Structure 1
Amino acid sequence: MPLSLPIDIDAIKGFLAEDEAEALLHFAREQAGNGPLLEVGSYCGKSTLYLAAACREAGSVVYAVDHHIGSEEHQLGEMFHDPELYNAQEGIFDTFNEFRRNLRTAGLTDYVVPLVAPSSVCARHWQTPLAMVFIDGGHSLEAALEDYRCWAAHLQRGGILAIHDLFPNPEEGGQAPIAVYRLALASGLFEAVSRVNSLGVLRRI
């Protein structure tokens, strides 16, 4: 079933390719009936809308974890800095207003629980089992490892762990996400299910 929303999702700021988005939607639809979903790294909400649309169909919710002040590469003077998302008055990169506007326009606010804090803070007292976790947060090794360690343990058996920006070669992109992907596989707790572009999908055994 194709995704139909009252918003031009291709116009939303973000770094999710079309084939990756379709795969994310597919697995979200598979899992949303089994429990809540969670993503780390919402940015302006492009991936959130795909997850939330699946949750609407199943009557579930997606927890959207993001401090909304951008990763290292989004800061002033860095490669992926977007001046339209920079709050010059406060001197911070800020994606939260854009994120909320996109949820409202898409009519999906009732299916998203924004958690505006780092993974470590959100996970500190977390007890809810999750049906799917999508990791697309900071790309430093420290940040990527923290996201994995905070949330992978909360996946139900049979649940999906999806990790974005897997680049086998350093010249293609940062190596932290694929290092975490390999760590998950080596743990013996996950099996590989699918690779679509730079999106890796694992299932909790």
Structure 2
Amino acid sequence: MLSPDEVKGFLAPEEGEALAALTAQAGALGPILEIGTYCGKSALYLGPAARQVGTILYTLDHHRGSEEHQRGEAYHDPELYDAEIDRMDSLPTLRRNLFRAGLEDCVIPLIGTSAQIAPHWSTELGLVFIDGGHSMAAALADYRGWASRVAMGGYLCIHDVFPDPADGGRPPYEIWCMARDSGLFEPVNRIGTLEVLQRCAR
């Protein structure tokens, strides 16, 4: 059986375990959504926890990679590059990993962007995990598209939040500030670079 440490990605084990524990708490409120699937590392934490509490994980990604994954960039991975179409494509790797992990029954890939999918979504979600593109446009689309779908008492989790700009990109921190200051969420925990907020108002 495939384990998370065998899958490409940057989620630390303690962050993945925290997300699994939150899913176990929030799964009764609705399905779980993660934004930014890549090869499925975080899905291997969230999926089993969702199954255990009788819900499912939707995992959303366009699978063409963020800016840093493109050819010539720092995080380009030749194994995820499709030379025939001259594009990065992580979807085949995700599907293979979900099959190897035995998670096809509880993890449902959504192929697209938040801007494409969120306007057509109406189901309340127990937990939303934002780990998508780090451009301001992508981060804002993820936050604006999905934060309002978190059920009362549910969780909004944002990865790669660096309060000090010397440590990393700003957009995840900026949307965390927006959530904190919105009056809709209250911060409850930080694990590594994962910020956890809970929905407290409508």
**Bin of the TM-score, shorter chain as denominator length:** over 0.9
Q: Distance in 1 between matches of 2:6 and 2:137?
A: 31
Q: Distance in 1 between matches of 2:60 and 2:67?
A: 17
Moved over 3 A (4+): none
Segments of 5+ residues of structure 2 without an aligned counterpart are none
Aligned-residue offset at 1:154:
0.6
Kindly indicate whether residue 24 of structure 2 is the aligned counterpart of residue 29 of structure 1. yes
Aligned-residue offset at 1:114:
0.8
Aligned-residue offset at 1:148:
0.3
Show the counterpart of 2:45: 50
Show the counterpart of 2:164: 169
Amino acid at match of 1:18: P
Alignment of 1:1-205 (within 5 A): 6-205=1-200
Amino acid at match of 1:75: Q
RMSD: 0.8
Q: Distance in 1 between matches of 2:4 and 2:58?
A: 19
Q: Distance in 2 between matches of 1:59 and 1:158?
A: 18
Q: Distance in 2 between matches of 1:33 and 1:50?
A: 17
TM-score (norm 1): 0.96
Q: Distance in 1 between matches of 2:98 and 2:3?
A: 12
Q: Distance in 2 between matches of 1:198 and 1:135?
A: 12
Amino acid at match of 1:138: G
Contact 2:160–2:194 (8 Å) recurs in 1: yes
Amino acid at match of 1:166: V
SS in 1 for 2:120: coil
Count residues in correspondence: 200
Q: Distance in 2 between matches of 1:160 and 1:136?
A: 14
Segments of 5+ residues of structure 1 without an aligned counterpart are 1-5
SS in 1 for 2:105: helix
Q: Distance in 2 between matches of 1:29 and 1:49?
A: 14
Contact 2:16–2:46 (8 Å) recurs in 1: no
Q: Distance in 2 between matches of 1:73 and 1:188?
A: 33
Aligned-residue offset at 1:8:
2.8
Higher alpha-carbon deviation: 142-151 or 26-35: 26-35
